[in-house]
Structure 1
Amino acid sequence: MSITTQAPATVEVTAKDCQHNGSVFCPNPKMALWSNHPRVFIDLSHDGQGQCPYCGTAYKLKAGEVLSGGH
């Protein structure tokens, strides 16, 4: 038996995909139901990227996207 591991997905998001505080949530609406886990918010406001502690999905802002300053 062989076990194949797959690298976590990377999801590029736009500023419009983010909440007013610069965060996105995981699992995101495009994920399959079987992959659900408790909803967590990933903060992208500091360096434009973050990773889900449950599934390892990485989220990053698309190149050229800027978050508005709503802290």
Structure 2
Amino acid sequence: METVNMSQPEAVVEVTAKDLQGPGVVFCPNPKMTQWSSHPKVYVDLSHSGEGRCPYCGTVYRLKAGEKIAHAH
């Protein structure tokens, strides 16, 4: 995971398929955040649009360009 510096005040984190914790989800806060215990752990769903926002801190998680989400059948 890498944080992308954007002009927006909220953080944007690009994730790869290997960063996913299940079919299309990541958790926030993630272990690489400086304040990883700043709010309860929540799962952010990226499976619909490739992007999701944490309801607590506003961090945006975005699937990196070219990455695919493996869907369970």
Distance in 2 separating the partners of 1:62 and 1:37: 25
Match of 2:5 in 1: none
CA radius of gyration, larger in: 1
Distance in 1 separating the partners of 2:36 and 2:45: 24
Structure 1 contact 51–59 (Cα < 8 Å) conserved = yes
2:55 to 50, 53, 59: 53
Match of 2:64 in 1: 62
User: Unaligned regions of 5+ residues in structure 1, if any?
Assistant: 1-5
Within 5 A, what are the aligned runs for 1:33-48? 33=35, 36-48=38-50
User: Unaligned regions of 5+ residues in structure 2, if any?
Assistant: 1-7
Distance in 1 separating the partners of 2:54 and 2:69: 20
TM-score using structure 2 length: 0.82
Distance in 2 separating the partners of 1:28 and 1:61: 15
Count of matched residue positions in the alignment of Structure 1 and Structure 2: 66
TM-score using structure 1 length: 0.84
Q: Which has the higher contact order (CA 8 A, sep 6+)?
A: 1
Give the aligned CA root-mean-square deviation in angstroms: 1.7
- Letter of the structure 1 residue corresponding to residue 43 of structure 2: F
Going by fraction, where is helix more abundant, 1 or 2? 1
Match of 2:33 in 1: 31
